[in-house]
Amino acid sequence: MKKLGFGLMRLPLTDSGDNGSIDQKIVDKMVDYYLEYGFAYFDTAYVYHAGMSEISARKAVVERYRRDKFSITDKMPTWLVTSASDYEKIFTEQLARCGVEYFDYYLLHNIGIKRYTDTRQSGGFEFMRKIREEGRAGHVGFSYHDKAELLDRILTEHPEMEYVQLQINYMDWENEAIQSRKCYETARKHGKPVIVMEPVKGGSLAGVPQEADKLFRMSRPGMSAVSWAIRFAASLEGVFMVLSGMSDFEQVADNVSYMCDFVPLSDKERETINKVAAIIDGNMAIPCTSCGYCFDGCPRRIPIPQYFALYNNQKQFGLLPNQMAYYMNLTQEHGTASDCCECGQCEEHCPQHIDIAEQMKEVAGVFDSR
């Protein structure tokens, strides 16, 4: 299967103020072009587009093409499950929405520390094994937004999970809060194939600073900034699918142009990406190096480097939904940014001499006010 997956989460709308008003005619055209060039992987979810993404997938794909011409991936909204019976109820509704008798791939959606505990207690992993044994799901796994240490624990305790969907892009690769590289390496240690989400970081890497864009154009004239981001993810060993949330026909055509006959990044191209990442990093709002000296001894156990990393991300790229997910997962075991008591011990240990207490107020203003 070709490595470009069609993410059905940022589809064109007929009304910009109504996320459920999917422009089905344009989606059909996008799907036709995508399938024409030999791609086949469609990714949807229960909550995408106010519940309309699954229905759009049925109309654009299932009702118009033979079942062996495509694969459908869907996800269980773990945060909506309140009892064991909810799994079957929601899953049955998803099959009906999509108009299929089985899903090729099925995930537990957005697993983190709290949802992992809740899912285990409510029988979520047993349900995943059940639907695979019954043939109602070809392969089962989970999407993940948390630390590598927890991912290692999950894959150790649940080796029956066949794959992991991770947020991976060249800006989050070494990000201390998101831990793209560490999570990727953990999945590979367990021998799990990886599906990549957010390779373009919610679309933010489509528009890089002028200096960075010049480097891209000098290296590969005519290639979009998006192509660099997607090829970075697709070039990683063990990645079998890279999702792109395509919003219009032009994005489909661009992605297909370089992923139809995919060529992995060369060493020289990797150097170019490293230079671009450095340029973007140079615009950080808080010059934190994630040394971790500030955390030891914090009376409120606030993960300062991780919060600063998320704050820098939102200053550079805007507040993306997944950034709030990472923040909320961190608060399950740590203090919030608002919990800072301004004791000053962190500032005594900071090699960068950051006014941490003041900056933490800025972080709280972004993440604790929502």
Mean pLDDT over residues 33-38, rounded?
A: 98
User: Coil, strand, or helix at residue 138?
Assistant: strand
Q: What does the pLDDT look like over 99-110, one tens digit per residue?
A: 999 999 999 999
CA distances from 129 to 63, 73, 156, 162, 234 (A): 28, 16, 16, 11, 29
Inform me whether the pLDDT recorded for 321 exceeds 80.
no
User: Phi and psi of 339, rounded to 5°?
Assistant: -75, -10
Between 342 and 296, whose confidence is greater?
A: 342
Q: Which residue, 90, 64, 92, is CA-closest to 77?
A: 90
Q: pLDDT grade, residue 27 (50/70/90)?
A: very high
The per-residue pLDDT for 289 is 75
Mean pLDDT taken over the chain: 94
Average pLDDT, integer, range 341-367: 92
What tokens appear for 196 in the block?
């990549």
Percentage of residues in the chain having pLDDT higher than 90? 82
Domains of the chain in sequence order: 4-275 (3.20.20.100), 304-367 (no CATH)
Other CB atoms within 10 Å distance of the CB of residue 242: 30
Would you state the pLDDT for residue 352?
80
Angle between helix 267-281 and 225-234 (nearest 10): 120
